[in-house]
Each structure stands twice: as structure tokens, then as C-alpha cells.
Amino acid sequence: MGVVASYTVLVGVQAALVLAPGAPRRRASSRTLGLAVPAAALVVGVAVAREAGGAGFLTTLAALATPALAAAAGWARGWRLPVLAALAVPPLYALAWLRLGTLPAEAAGVVLIAAACLAATGIVAGLAPAGWLRLGLVLLVVADVVLVWGDPQVGPTMKALSAARPPTVGRPLPSLQQVQFGSVTMGWLDLAAPALLGLVVRRRVPAAAATALTAGAWGLLLLATSPIAATPPVLAGLVAGSTGVPTLKGRTLRSRG
């Protein structure tokens, strides 16, 4: 599949993640977690990947932990029937595993990573006020831009991560350390950012539309340079969907769809 078609599909996935419903259970209210966790996840991930054997470690971790995290998406997001998300994981993982190298396997991998991002952001949203998560999301985008375009080692690091192979159990396990579909590769946080966006705006439909349209235009940068930071379009979504967002005083936001 060509770059344009592949990128368009992944932009559609980003928009769908913004639209995903969620009313995470409130477990704590830490401003520090809301502010630091999103950007820290990016920085720590890049740092680990740079270390000797780091790419292999992250690849193994992703192959084993992604299905477990994806199965928890319904629980973490407060869905009415969380078991449905868990039941969808085994066939998706089997498809990604048994049809390695095919487009259906890549699509299954994208869905698994997207579901895992829904779970991870649902957990984080249950630990921090929505207002501070918004600031954390902005910091994530800033860190992404700085690392991708300001650090010459990020490109080789991401290539090493893409080339890393997961462990073998009869046959190699699925490569879930990065989002791969057709000719385009994204990082986990390129899906986690829109998943988090959907939890910190009240008007998810305008946020999703703005994210998708901005991401489509943003992708034109691929004609001039690669890789590109893929998180900045969520800032357009944040602005478009910000009406009615709680203040920094930490009142719980419950999505209304």
C-alpha cells in the first residue's frame, strides 16, 4: 500500500481514538502525573531504545504486554461492557501472529496498539485532573517536535526499533513496538496523544475532525522530510474541542460523546 493511502488510514485511526468514549474511574488527583506522564513516556521510551539492547527489550515488552493492555481498554475507559474489548483481543492477536507480513496482520496490530493506548490513557486520566492532562498533552507535543527535529539520533533509534525482532514461540511473535501499516510507521504516542485528547475535551466530534484535517495537511511534510513528528495535529483538536473543558481546579470530566 502506498504512502498516501497508508497515512490516510492511520489518520483515520487517530480520529477514531479521539471519538472513543471514556469515563475513567477516578483513583487519585495528581497534578504532577497529569503534567509529566505524557511527555515522560516519550522521553523514557526514546532513552531506553537508545541503550544497547533497548530496542530488543521494548520489542519483547510490546509483543507480550500489548494484548494484556488492549484487553483492559473497556475497564480502563469505564465502558458498560468491558468484556467485549477483552474478547476481541485473542482473534486479533492470532491474526497478527499467524499472518505476519500481510496487510490484515498489520491492521490487527494497529487495532491492538490503539486499544492498548485507550487503556493506558484511561488509566492516566483516572489519576490526574483533566486540566493538567491538557497541559501534559501540550508538553508531549513539544517534546515530540524537539526530539524528532532537534535530535539527530532519533531517526536511527526509530529505525533500530523498527528492525528489532520479537521473540519466537514456534514462529516470531507480532511486532507491536511501533504502529506499522503499509508504507507508514508511527510511534505508540502518535496514537496515545489522540486517545488522551478524547478524554480532555467535551466536544469530541469537532476535536476529531480538526485532528484529522490538520493531520492530513501535516502529512504533506513527508514530501520534504522523514521522519516527522505526528502528534502536533492534536493541538488543533484540543482547540476545536476545548469548549466546556474543566479548569485546572481538577473537576472530573465525564465524556458526553
Tell me the mean pLDDT in the region 56-60.
86
In DSSP terms, 179 is beta-bridged to 186
Residue 253 has pLDDT above 60, yes or no: no
Q: What is the pTM of this model?
A: 0.85
In this prediction, residue 9 carries a pLDDT of 94
Q: What is the pLDDT of residues 172-220, one digit of tens each?
A: 899 898 899 988 888 888 999 999 999 999 899 999 999 999 999 998 8
Mutual angle of helices 233-240 and 3-19, in 10-degree steps: 30
In this prediction, residue 150 carries a pLDDT of 79
In this prediction, residue 165 carries a pLDDT of 84
- Residue ranges per structural domain of the chain: 3-240
Residue 167 has pLDDT above 60, yes or no: yes
Q: Please tell me the distance from the alpha carbon of residue 189 to that of residue 5, in angstroms, as a whole number.
A: 21
Terminal C-alpha separation, the chain = 33
User: If 0-12 CB within 10 Å is exposed, 13-18 middle and 19+ buried, where does residue 200 land?
Assistant: buried
Give backbone dihedrals phi and psi of 216, rounded to 5 degrees, phi first. Answer: -60, -45
In this prediction, residue 196 carries a pLDDT of 92
Q: Please tell me the distance from the alpha carbon of residue 179 to that of residue 107, in angstroms, as a whole number.
A: 9
What is the Cα gyration radius of the chain?
A: 17
Give backbone dihedrals phi and psi of 133, rounded to 5 degrees, phi first. Answer: -65, -35
Between 28 and 232, residue with greater pLDDT: 232
